[in-house]
Amino acid sequence: MPEPEAIRGLSASPGRASGPLFTVEEEPQPWSPDVEAATSEAVAAVAERVARQLEDLAGDRRDRAPDAAAILEAQALMARDPALQAAVDESLAAGRGAPAAIAEATESYATRLEQTEDAYLAARAADVREVGRLLLAGLTGRPPSRLAGLAEPSVVLARELTPADTLAAEPGSIVAFVTESGGTTSHVAIVARELGIPAVVGAAGALAAARRAAATGALVDGTAGTVSWLGPEELLKEDSGAGRELVALDLDAAPVPIMANAGSVAAVRAAADLRLQGVGLFRTEFLFLSRPDPPGEEEQAETYEVACALMAPYPVVVRTLDAGSDKRLPYLPVAGEPNPALGRRGVRLWLANEGLRDPQVRALARTAAGHENLWVMVPMVGASEEMREVRDLFEDAGRRRGRTPPLGMMVELPATAVALDRFGGLIDFVSIGTNDLVQYALGADRELEWPPYLSEFNPGALRLIAEAVRSAHRVDVKVGVCGELAGRPEGAVFLVGLGVDSLSLGAASAGPVVRALSRTGVEGCREAARAALEAGSAEEALALLS
């Protein structure tokens, strides 16, 4: 028998896992006569049912994946939108069948959103299309999640997956994701990285290839971005299970603490299960995005307290809200910024908006009083004046509530990176956010694809990072790194070689990073870093660090 073809896609979440295949079927076509003949009242009743199912699902899963739960709530609002129902009614009155009427109404709604100049609204177009699919599935009596029938831990294979699909699955029931569509920032990629599940997206032709290979299982390499098909016997031989290689991690082999980046309580739990040594970056923006109003003190405190309890005694570094630029809040329009990446974002936006700032300060002060392992970190700091203001706020709240947590800041602006000694007395620690630091140093938008010479491995970018480490250590401030560079084995080798004090990365990247560090050893890392700083090009630096 010829070797079954392997499929190549994009690496959306690293790690290897295998298991039986669960293929998500597309809606059957043509539609049944009952569905075709559904009336306006029937469509309205289905919309109400779908909205309620989405809200229930969001409520059950808010703890595991709050950002995705918020998307479901927004979709519930869209399903109930009277303008959508009116558009469906218009098409029905013109003699269309219900499937065509729903498709037309949602498509024209989505296209209108895409044509607005508002990036946040434009990004909601995918949610409207998803609502259309859910209404059609609802007319046939099916549940919102197409993974409702998932009975055993499986590799989920689909053309595309939505939050409604992925969130309905029980924890542990998905060992890997493979989708034909989607990029590395699609919903499924974000959920997979948060939960430490390997994922390959953009794997064009995967469904047909699995059929041709008569596959019953698959081996997914989320790091390489490949999928190979398995028959029943090969499946038995494979060691299945997401995260198994991570569970076997020998963290003692790493010369510095390996911490996790997390955006939800679920991700903190996954990191604690892997025995990672703290959360080096808790991105609170996921609590604030994709919802009609911001979370209050109570809701925030609950999240921070659970995260600290899960990780104790290791630190949980909670970052104050980092909104603005590409992270737009629907309830906080920022007008008149020709270049939002250089506009009011991070600490600037936070300090200027008491309504967002004060409940977060109170929630953090309250958490600090009961949890010694809470640390607080501020994004996008460009001047000591900003940090002074932040420190005053937390010290004031700490005096009233009993304790001021250790306060640190992210190093994301080049001017800050080279002048950390100017923040003496204001900061207890720093963490280098290489994603933003490099975008601002090279003037290269982080959302776009660039060749390696405009990446973190650019000679000037490497020297800037090295200078940040030196300038913090000169004033005895501990330096962590939480940008994506820390999660790349070559990056981790470089950073440990520079003498950083901790690395914080997506849980799924821990395995490859720890292995690279223990293979290289601290002296090897130092030598590699020294050589990389002298390299004439990014390509040469990467080769030296590999």
Q: Which residues of the shown chain bind ligand PEP in the complex (CB under 6 A)?
A: 281, 283, 322, 412, 433-436, 482-483
Q: Which of 187, 308, 371, 525 does the annotation list as catalytic?
A: 187
| Candidates 248-256, 394-402, 408-416, 527-535; binding stretch for Mg ion (CB under 5 A) | 408-416
The single-letter DSSP state of residue 422 is G
**What's the token pair of residue 47?**
């919309």
Q: Which is nearer to Mg ion, 73 or 412 (CB)?
A: 412
Q: Which is nearer to ligand PEP, 9 or 506 (CB)?
A: 506
d(CA 328, CA 116): 15
Number of neighbouring beta carbons within 10 Å of residue 299: 14
Residue 263 sits in the site that holds Mg ion (CB under 5 A): no
Min separation Cβ 439 and ligand PEP, Å: 8
Query: How many helices (H) does the chain have, and how many strands (E)?
Result: 24, 16
Size of the residue set binding Mg ion (CB under 5 A): 3
d(CA 205, CA 181): 10
Min separation Cβ 336 and ligand PEP, Å: 23
Answer with the entry of ligand PEP, Mg ion, none that 482 interacts with (C-beta below 5 to 8 A by kind).
Answer: ligand PEP
Min separation Cβ 283 and Mg ion, Å: 9
> Which residues neighbour 268 within 8 Å (Cβ) at sequence distance 6 or greater?
260, 262, 279, 282, 306, 307, 310, 311, 316
Beta pairing, strands 316-319 & 374-378: parallel
Q: Which is nearer to ligand PEP, 67 or 436 (CB)?
A: 436
Amino acid at 134: L
Min separation Cβ 437 and Mg ion, Å: 8
Min separation Cβ 284 and ligand PEP, Å: 10
d(CA 344, CA 469): 27
Number of neighbouring beta carbons within 10 Å of residue 478: 16
> Strand order in 7-8's β-sheet?
7-8, 226-230, 217-221, 16-23, 154-158, 174-179, 199-201, 10-13
| Candidates 162-170, 212-220, 261-269, 405-413; binding stretch for Mg ion (CB under 5 A) | 405-413
Answer with the entry of Mg ion, ligand PEP, none that 528 interacts with (C-beta below 5 to 8 A by kind).
Answer: none
Alpha carbon 114 to chain centroid, angstroms: 23
Q: Which is nearer to Mg ion, 75 or 320 (CB)?
A: 320
Q: Which is nearer to Mg ion, 378 or 477 (CB)?
A: 378
Min separation Cβ 412 and Mg ion, Å: 5
Which DSSP string do the residues of 174-242 spell out, in sequence order? EEEEEESS--TTSHHHHHHHHHT--EEE--TTHHHHHHHTT-SEEEEETTTTEEEEE-HHHHHHS---T
Residue 484 sits in the site that holds Mg ion (CB under 5 A): no
Place of tokens 């998932």: 150
Q: Which of 427, 506, 499 is nearest to 469 (CA)?
A: 499
Active-site annotation holds for 482: yes
d(CA 486, CA 434): 9
Answer with the entry of ligand PEP, Mg ion, none that 130 interacts with (C-beta below 5 to 8 A by kind).
Answer: none
Q: Which is nearer to ligand PEP, 73 or 322 (CB)?
A: 322
Question: 520 φ, ψ to 5°?
Answer: -85, -35
Answer with the entry of ligand PEP, Mg ion, none that 73 interacts with (C-beta below 5 to 8 A by kind).
Answer: none
- CA distances (Å), 498 to each of 92, 279, 374, 471, 524, in order? 66, 21, 27, 12, 11
| Candidates 34-42, 95-103, 227-235, 409-417; binding stretch for Mg ion (CB under 5 A) | 409-417
Min separation Cβ 397 and ligand PEP, Å: 24
Answer with the entry of ligand PEP, Mg ion, none that 483 interacts with (C-beta below 5 to 8 A by kind).
Answer: ligand PEP
Answer with the entry of ligand PEP, Mg ion, none that 456 interacts with (C-beta below 5 to 8 A by kind).
Answer: none
Min separation Cβ 341 and ligand PEP, Å: 11
Q: Which of 308, 371, 473, 482 does the annotation list as catalytic?
A: 482
Q: Which is nearer to Mg ion, 127 or 436 (CB)?
A: 436
Q: Which is nearer to Mg ion, 130 or 412 (CB)?
A: 412
Q: Which is nearer to ligand PEP, 120 or 403 (CB)?
A: 120
* Residue with the CB atom nearest ligand PEP in the bound state: 433
Among 99, 138, 433, 480, binds Mg ion (CB under 5 A): 433
Min separation Cβ 345 and ligand PEP, Å: 9
Residue 436 sits in the site that holds Mg ion (CB under 5 A): yes
Secondary structure of 482-498 in the HEC alphabet?
Answer: CCHHHHCHHHHHHHHHH
50-73 core/surface letters (b: 16 or more CB in 10 A; e: else):
bbebbbebbeebbebbbbbbbbbb
Answer with the entry of Mg ion, ligand PEP, none that 434 interacts with (C-beta below 5 to 8 A by kind).
Answer: ligand PEP
How large is the angle between the packed helices 82-93 and 98-115, nearest 10 degrees? 130
d(CA 128, CA 79): 8
Answer with the entry of ligand PEP, Mg ion, none that 173 interacts with (C-beta below 5 to 8 A by kind).
Answer: none
Answer with the entry of Mg ion, ligand PEP, none that 283 interacts with (C-beta below 5 to 8 A by kind).
Answer: ligand PEP
Catalytic residue numbers, as ranges: 187, 482
Residues near Mg ion, by CB under 5 A: 412, 433, 436
